[in-house]
Structures are given as C-alpha cells and as structure tokens.
Structure 1
C-alpha cells in the first residue's frame, strides 16, 4: 500500500489511524488486519508486528453504534411515518430490519476505530509498544 500511515518516533496522527481502524486495518501500517473475526481483535499485526493486546474497547463500540443508529433512524422513521403513513407492521418490519443491518455493519467498524483511537493517543499501554 503506497499511502501507509507514517508513525515515526512520537508522531501518531489520530484521524488516519481512526480511518484505518474503521476499515479494519492496522492503525500503524494501514495494511495488516485489526480484527480476525467479527469482533475479535488480533493480538498483533501480521504485517508490522504492532501489538493490540492493550486495547480496552469494552462497551464503547456498542454505545457508539446505538448512538449513530438511533440518531439516523429516528428522524427517518418520523419522516416516513409523516409522509406516507404506512401500516404499523410495515413500518416496524422495515425499520427493524434497517436498524439491525446498520448495527451489524457499524459495530466492527466502530470497534476498529476505538482501538485505533486508543493506539493513536497512546492509551492503556499502547505508548509502550513499538
């Protein structure tokens, strides 16, 4: 990858790391995989060897997912209801499926972003790694 995230010395740019984490990539090199299954964080990067065992994402990604999905779907629900007045069962079916799909899409991406943010800010022991 030609646009690797350059992290030499104390320089750890936050936004490139967060975007790499959102893509499920290593916040250090931008190439290795951050997650090895749906929500499991690898112990280290397969490309550059950066260790991820320090991460403490805990419930942060779930809270962020709820925040984003709620703030996107609630106004949309109101707009659809006021504009077209679908039956309650149709409205529930569409928005339940939409909320589920959006939540499943965002959760691993937000977990990668949280871990990458912790790495970029040297939180929870990430400052001692390479």
Structure 2
C-alpha cells in the first residue's frame, strides 16, 4: 500500500535518497558529480543543488564517529591478538578511507534531502 500524495509522488524516501544519492525532487541518481561532490543540478528535473547549504557538518561528525570506532577496534585487535604493525596498516587505513567516503556521501545526501523536504533556507534569505 502506497502513501504517495500528489505532492510526494516520485520522491524517494529519506534513507534511500541518502544511500544512493538520489535527487530529492525526482528520484534520479544525479546528486553526485564526483566521489563526494554534489553535481551543480539534477540532469533529469533541473533542481539546482547549489542553493542547498550542507556545509562541513557531516565531515566533522564523521571524523569523530569513524575515528572513535576505528581506534576502538584497533585497540581491541592489539590487546586481543597483538598482530604486527603492518597488519594494522593494511587493515585500518583502507577501512577508514572507505568508511569516510561512503559515510560522507550518505551524510551529505541526507542533509540535502532534509533541507529539501523541510524547505530550509538561509537566515535572511529573500526567497520566501
């Protein structure tokens, strides 16, 4: 059973949009133009992504969260198995890079989707 109203028909859900980089307007996979860089606009519906202010919030939170998790896991591995240093390097460096890139894409997409769905604007914006 679908709960689509005429205003939300065709729009992706929050989690789906964040995980797959979907346009919040039409649902096309056009949100990103690079690894974690937004495209200027949606090539399907023309929604201008540059009017959204995602900022550096996702990067800051991801640094703290992923860093804490990786350090905790590395300490656990060191205490329980005491592997050589190269095992830590081969394990944690790629895992950290992958987690940051995937997490940053998802967090930025989620923030943009939240701004779009709540019609958020900059303070003092003339767009009413």
Query: Which TM-score applies when normalising by structure 2?
Result: 0.72
Deviations, residues 78-101 of structure 1 (Å, cap 9, x unaligned): 221121011234324421232122
| C-alpha distance 90-7 of structure 1, shift in aligned 2 (>3 A) | farther
Aligned with residue 58 of structure 2, among 58, 61, 64:
61
Residues 92/7 of structure 1: CA separation in 2 closer, same or farther (3 Å cut) = farther
Q: Which residue of 2 aligns with 1:74?
A: 71
Counterpart residue number, 1:31:
28
Higher relative contact order (CA 8 A, sep 6+): 1
1:24 deviates by 0.8
What's the RMSD between the two structures over aligned residues? 2.9
Determine the C-alpha separation between the residues in 2 that align with 1:32 and 1:52.
13
Q: Which SS does the other structure have where 2:30 is aligned?
A: coil
Question: Counterpart in 1 of 2:119?
Answer: 122
Unmatched tracts of structure 2, length 5 or more: none
Structure 1 residue ranges, 4+ long, deviating more than 3 angstroms after superposition: none
- In the superposition, the TM-score normalised over structure 1's length comes to 0.71
